[in-house]
Structure 1
Amino acid sequence: MKYVCLMRGINVSGQRKVNMKTLCTQLAELGMDNVSYYLQSGNLLFDTSLTSSEIKATITQLLGDAYDYQDVDLFLFTFDTLQAIYDEMPTFVSDQDVSKSHFTFLNDIPDTKLTEQMDDQAFLPDQYRLCGTMVYVYCPNGYGRTKIHTNFFERKLKVRATTRNHKTVATLLDKLSS
């Protein structure tokens, strides 16, 4: 089965450096097939017959052993799951520029009490929509200027998260489908 694994906080701002080409070779040596990456920011693609739990355990062990990173959050998706997430991206405005759209992946469904306390209109023109373990984010003035970023959602929802822009998710889907 084909998978994409998003690793939180890898190769961001010079922190937690991982040579993605080397990581791909290491994963191939551990039995994963067609291992590749997109960008240096922790986006892996591969085929494997391992279960989700086995995949996460394998990557977690490798990151711990080879890089001494003990707490990297992994977000694992099959092609079908990632495609469904992509297809659910809401339209926030009629002339929405998809390059201003982002996907924030949560590692768990947040507590209802916490989600009820949030106001998705409080940061206009930036907007978000929370759907289970996903937060769809639209920032017409750019993600670098928004207050509704990964750390914001982690603080407010008490879950771990990672964010990818529209182009990255679209490219990952394209690579998974080929």
Structure 2
Amino acid sequence: MTTTYAALLRGINVGGKKKVPMAELKKVLSGLGHGGVATYLNSGNAVFTSDSDDQDALADDLERAIASHFGFDVPCLVRGGPYLRAVAEDCPFPAAELEAKQLHVTYFSGPVTEERFAGIDQQAFLPEEFRLGDQALYLYAPDGLGRSKLGEVLGRPSVNKGITGTSRNWNTVLKLVELTGGA
């Protein structure tokens, strides 16, 4: 059975580092035998179809292909439309009432637990807030991620040790649901 997936690349095309042109990313994904390849924005979002049901293997294959093609490592996550839809539907914040720049989802490569974030005093960052989901973290940052002190703390390697995380604003979250047929 063919499934539509989103590939979420972490840390590309930011500040002139790790440049991955979307046309080249499409070639890499097509070269792996995937169909229906398309990209969204210039920040590491692609959709594709595959007969595989192993998201981790798909991500590993993409990471190896990117390293071979571009000469540098890029952490990747691969998620199917139903999962992306469930993450959007489970948002604990009133998404329809917020600007897209105020709401972000960080997708993780593995489970995220309360214990991982126990050292963060959420009261110290109000009105910013975060909530945990299924391998996802929802961040409400009223002034946007670029000015978010809580986002900065949540992104520290000490907090994310052992897992890969990559964030998307709410518009991108919804667009990836649409592009993967999860809508």
Once the 2 structures are TM-superposed, how far is the Cα of residue 34 of structure 1 from its aligned partner? 0.4
Aligned counterpart, 2:172: 168
Matched, 1:105 2:107: yes
**Aligned positions of 1:1-178 closer than 5 A:** 1-50=3-52, 51-70=54-73, 72-91=74-93, 95-110=97-112, 112-149=114-151, 152-154=154-156, 155-158=158-161, 159-177=163-181
Cα distance change, pair 29–156 in 1 and its aligned pair in 2 (3 A): closer
Q: Identify unmatched segments of 5+ residues in structure 1.
A: none
How many angstroms does 1:172 deviate by?
A: 1.3
Greater CA drift, 73-82 or 55-64: 55-64
Other structure's SS at 2:149 match: coil
- CA distance in 2: counterparts of 1:144 and 1:112, whole angstroms: 24
CA RMSD of aligned residues (A): 2.3
Deviation at 1:39, TM superposition (A): 0.7
Greater shift in the superposed pair: 87-96 or 133-142: 87-96
CA distance in 1, matches of 2:62, 2:96: 41
Normalising by structure 1, report the TM-score. 0.87
% identity of equivalent residues? 28
> Contact 2:106–2:168 at 8 Å: present in 1 too?
yes
Q: Which runs of 4+ in 1 moved over 6 A?
A: none
When residues 121 and 106 of structure 1 are mapped into structure 2, their CA distance, relative to the original with a 3 A threshold, is farther
Deviation at 1:24, TM superposition (A): 0.6
Contact 1:111 1:157 in 2 (8 A): no
Bigger Cα displacement from structure 2, 112-121 vs 124-133: 112-121
Deviations 1:103-138 (A, max 9, x none): 012222246543332233321111111234211011
Q: Report the CA distance shift for 1:110/1:8 in structure 2 as closer, same or farther (over 3 A).
A: same
Give the drift of 1:89. Answer: 1.0
Q: How many residues align?
A: 177
Contact 1:2 1:176 in 2 (8 A): yes
Gaps of 5+ in 2: none
What CA distance in whole angstroms lies between the structure 1 residues aligned with 2:13 and 2:160? Answer: 25
Change (3 A) 1:130 1:38: same
Return the letter of the residue paired with 2:71. D
